[in-house]
């Protein structure tokens, strides 16, 4: 009898841990913006006909949702997308709909690190987590001996301006990790010193 109780408690513990880890994975940071190729699960409370699992956001940033056809969600936070669906469903189809959205899988986001780093190339960014400029350089193996740490250039996709940073400037800030967060598509180049 004791063995059965122990096995039952172990099973319950295992299930609870797995559920908690799934919940943790499904919670993006509040300011994460839904992106093309993200995969979503959408549920409307007490309306099973609207349940959508593994719904991929199109390259244009839209989803196909029952009765609503195309709905643009890219560039919105999860709570903004939830509000958009609730508003559209509530306008013509449901009374006071309650929508939940879970990001099941994030699209691959990457930065390219070039120049005086040990292993130049493209690097994947963590799903919904931001990383700082020095962390991105560390992913590329760190600075080489020839690196000019006072000339770190960042070209952001969609911007003409090239930003210039120094390692000292970043490390002397109050929070080096948050000093400058890299974004998907950034190109980082560490200049070489001439000496």
Q: How confident is the model at residue 126 (pLDDT cuts 50, 70, 90)?
A: confident
Instruction: Answer whether residue 149 shows pLDDT above 60.
Output: yes
Q: Which two tokens stand for residue 7?
A: 């096995």
CA–CA dist 158, 165 (Å, integer): 19
Q: How confident is the model at residue 85 (pLDDT cuts 50, 70, 90)?
A: very high
Q: For residue 24, how far is the Cα from the chain centroid? A: 14
Residue 1 is predicted with a pLDDT of 53
Residue 11 is predicted with a pLDDT of 39
CA–CA dist 181, 176 (Å, integer): 9
CATH code for residues 110-192: 3.10.560.10
CATH architecture designation of domain 28-105: 2-Layer Sandwich (3.30)
What would you measure as the largest C-alpha separation in the chain, in angstroms?
76
Domain range annotation of the chain: 28-105, 110-192
Q: What is the pTM of this model?
A: 0.60
């Amino acid at each position: 009898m004791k063995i059965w109780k122990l096995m039952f408690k172990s099973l319950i513990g295992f299930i609870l841990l797995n559920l908690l880890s799934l919940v943790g994975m499904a919670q993006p940071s509040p300011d994460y913006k839904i992106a093309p190729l993200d995969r979503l699960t959408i549920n409307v409370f007490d309306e099973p006909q609207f349940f959508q699992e593994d719904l991929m956001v199109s390259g244009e940033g839209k989803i196909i949702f029952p009765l609503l056809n195309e709905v643009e969600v890219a560039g919105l936070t999860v709570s903004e997308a939830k509000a958009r669906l609730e508003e559209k469903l509530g306008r013509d189809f449901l009374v006071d709909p309650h929508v939940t959205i879970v990001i099941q899988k994030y699209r691959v986001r990457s930065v390219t690190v070039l120049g005086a780093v040990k292993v130049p190339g493209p690097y994947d960014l963590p799903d919904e987590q931001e990383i700082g400029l020095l962390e991105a350089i560390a992913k590329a193996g760190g600075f080489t001996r020839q690196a000019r740490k006072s000339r770190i250039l960042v070209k952001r996709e969609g911007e003409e301006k090239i930003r210039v940073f120094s390692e000292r400037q970043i490390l002397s800030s109050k929070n080096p990790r948050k000093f400058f967060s890299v974004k998907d598509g950034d190109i980082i180049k560490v200049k070489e010193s001439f000496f």
